Amino acid sequence: MDDAKEGDLGTSSDAPMPFRAAVDALRTARLRPQVEVEPTRPPQRLAPYAYALEATVVDGDQDLADGRLVLLHDPAGHDAWRGEFRLVTLVRAELESEMAADPLLPEVCWSWLTGALQARGLAFGEPSGTVTRASSHYFGGLSERPSASQIEIRASWTPRTGLGGVPDAAGHLVAWCDLLAQIAGLPPAGPGDASVVTLPQRRGPQSR
């Protein structure tokens, strides 16, 4: 893409080399085919440099889950991050109401995030976030719609950097896609891959 478009997406040519290297790794990561990923406009005020991706877990013409991953970079470092990089995410999927009512669901969903990172052997720190369950009930002119329940994970963590101060951005993206696949209820990506576990009682997929 040309410089103007790169600037729109937070990847201008004057960005620091560690950030550009991390973005290049995000662009070239190999992901499972059910996860469709594309760049999107990043937030403007969270850090001097940012790059964002949107993803959808797809089965045929149906969407199973969706999410957004943002890579932030502050060359001066950030006290709350305890590092120069930060990953911020939002992941969503619809659930059966019985599953959404499970009192252990928030803890389980949070463990899916940390577990996905650990399963890929990724070093990270300062994780924080929320797991939210929401239910919608329809009335009046919308009363024919069935009730719907949704799970939402909002989280952020600091990826540890390696040579040249560059994090394993591709590895973190792959782990994030593992989380998306897990919350979507997909089976493991391949033989011996236990990082994706099927979510029971998930609501049927949504038409695109």
pTM over 0.75: yes
Angle between helices 169-184 and 105-119 (to 10 degrees): 140
By three-state DSSP, how is residue 143 classified? coil
- The type of residue at 14 is D
- The type of residue at 108 is V
In this prediction, residues 87-96 reach a mean pLDDT of: 90
Contact 22, 73 (CB under 8 A): yes
How far are the Cα atoms of 49, 65, 138, 203 from residue 78, in angstroms, in the given order? 13, 31, 44, 40
Token digits for 27?
Answer: 């662009």
C-alpha 166/C-alpha 159 separation (Å) is 9
pLDDT at 171 over 60: yes
In this prediction, residues 89-110 reach a mean pLDDT of: 83
- Between residues 135 and 152, the one the model is more confident about: 152
C-alpha 20/C-alpha 7 separation (Å) is 12
In this prediction, residues 82-95 reach a mean pLDDT of: 93
CA atoms within 13 A on the CB side of 49: 21
In this prediction, residues 13-37 reach a mean pLDDT of: 91
